[in-house]
A and B are shown apart, each in its own frame.
Chain A
Amino acid sequence: MSEFKRKSTDGEIEISQPDFTGMVTLRADLANSETIINIERIIGLKLPEKRKLIGDLSHGMAWMSPDELLVFCADPAAMAAQLNAGLSGAFLVADVSHARAVFLLQGDGVREVLAKGAPVDLSPEVFLPDDFRRTRMGQVAVAFWMSGQSPDSFGLICFASVQEFMFDWLVTASKKGSLPHYL
């Protein structure tokens, strides 16, 4: 994988990519109480609520569907091994760190940039801290979330194979003077 990380600072928002984000997909029945106990024990965090992110990119979990979580961690190989050893029943663990790309979006126009491409209400009263939403950005399947308490700070993930396109799309959507300043 290329170590080149994209960065743009001359638009309405700052767009950057973190050096590395460990990401492990976990598929399991998230309604099963034994599975929940095991996941919370191994990860050391509470299971996120529906469409929520708990923790952050260095240590966190995102709710992807009723039977899927995305685990963020520093060491995905160790995390995958721990999950494989500690879970029982039907489940699947996969290290997807190099199959996903992460973008960090920062600036007071970030909601308007995202709203250009996603059928999602991004007003601050509706899209709340730690909301994690899978949707599309233009034609690209993505998930984005509001990081912590700042309404101007978002993260976004997409498939690594389309990250170049996603970056160009975000740069174009955040060109200076292109935002309505409505949200």
Chain B
Amino acid sequence: MLLLTCPYCGVTAEETEFHGGGEAHIKRFAGGSDDAEFTGYLFEKKNPRGVVFERWRHVYGCGKWFHAARCSATLEIFGTYSAQTVKPSEAVISVIQARRPDWQVKP
């Protein structure tokens, strides 16, 4: 059971009040892209064991989308942060580095 905190309304609730939206910080390829780019965007998700960045929506609450960083092996939540960003916040990166010293920020 994941306990997520919505950064918009401040509610902390278990995951059934939210809805997962898949891998975060991916570049959208649509009109004008070639088939390989679009296939990659649509189907080729990283899904690593360990630190993952995801999009979530507070679907039964304030309705807002946000980002979450968590561990896919232990279900530990490192932090949640605004949807209005293209990369993880510095604050959440430092939490992850403290909790997972071997983890590297990938470009």
Q: Which residues of A contact B (CB under 8 A)?
A: 50-51, 64-66, 68, 119-120, 133-136, 141
Contacts and interface: CB of A to CB of B under 8 A. Distances in A.
B16 A119 contact: yes
Given A51-B11, A119-B16, A119-B17, A66 B61 contact: no
Chain B contact residues: over half helix, strand or loop, or mixed? loop
Nearest to B62: A65
Chain A interface helix/strand/loop/mixed: strand
B8 interface: yes
B60 A134 contact: yes
Contact of B62 (A66, A119, A120, A136): A66
Contacts, number: 36
B13 A119 contact: yes
A135 B9 contact: no
**B interface residue count range (under 10 / 10 to 19 / 20 to 34 / 35 or more):** 10 to 19
Which of A65, A68, A119 has the most B CB atoms < 10 Å from its CB? A119
B11 A65 contact: no
A120 B9 CA distance: 14
Interface of B: 8-11, 13-14, 16-17, 60-64
B60 to A, nearest CB: 4
A65 B9 contact: yes
A66 B60 CA distance: 15
Contacts of B62: 64-66, 68, 134
Given A135-B60, A141-B60, A66 B13 contact: no
A50 B7 CA distance: 12
A134 B8 CA distance: 13
Contact of B8 (A66, A119, A133, A135): A66
Contacts of B8: 65-66
Nearest to B64: A65
B10 A119 contact: no
Given A51-B11, A68-B62, 7 more contacts: A51-B10, A65-B62, A133-B11, A135-B13, A135-B60, A135-B61, A141-B60
